[in-house]
Amino acid sequence: MRALRTLEPGGGLVAGGLIAYASSANIDAALAARLRRIGRVAFGACALVFGRVHFLYATDTASMVPKWTPRACCSGPMRRARPV
């Protein structure tokens, strides 16, 4: 799990870079479409890993939020968004 935690920022950057490259490079349209799709799938996988890590390391994630941040602005909308 620690390996996923250290690789996740790089994975998102690589996926985003692949999407940007495929969108702006002068390459074959079919190759560009294939690279964009691979980048989108990789970025989606990274988003799943990000979410999982947020739940697995909730205390570590909470410690990254500055103490001066008003908790009401973060927790209020989430309480209203949850199903009744």
* pLDDT (0 to 100) of residue 37: 93
pLDDT at 68 exceeding the cut of 90: no
Separation between Cα atoms, residue 39 and residue 26, nearest integer Å: 17
Boundaries of every domain in the chain: 2-58
pLDDT at 4 exceeding the cut of 60: no
Q: What digits encode the pLDDT tens for the residues 5-55?
A: 555 667 788 888 889 999 898 999 999 999 999 989 888 888 888 888 778
Residues in the chain: 84
The answer to whether 69 and 31 are in contact (CB under 8 A) is no
Q: What is the greatest pairwise CA distance in the chain? A: 51
Span 52-61, average pLDDT: 79
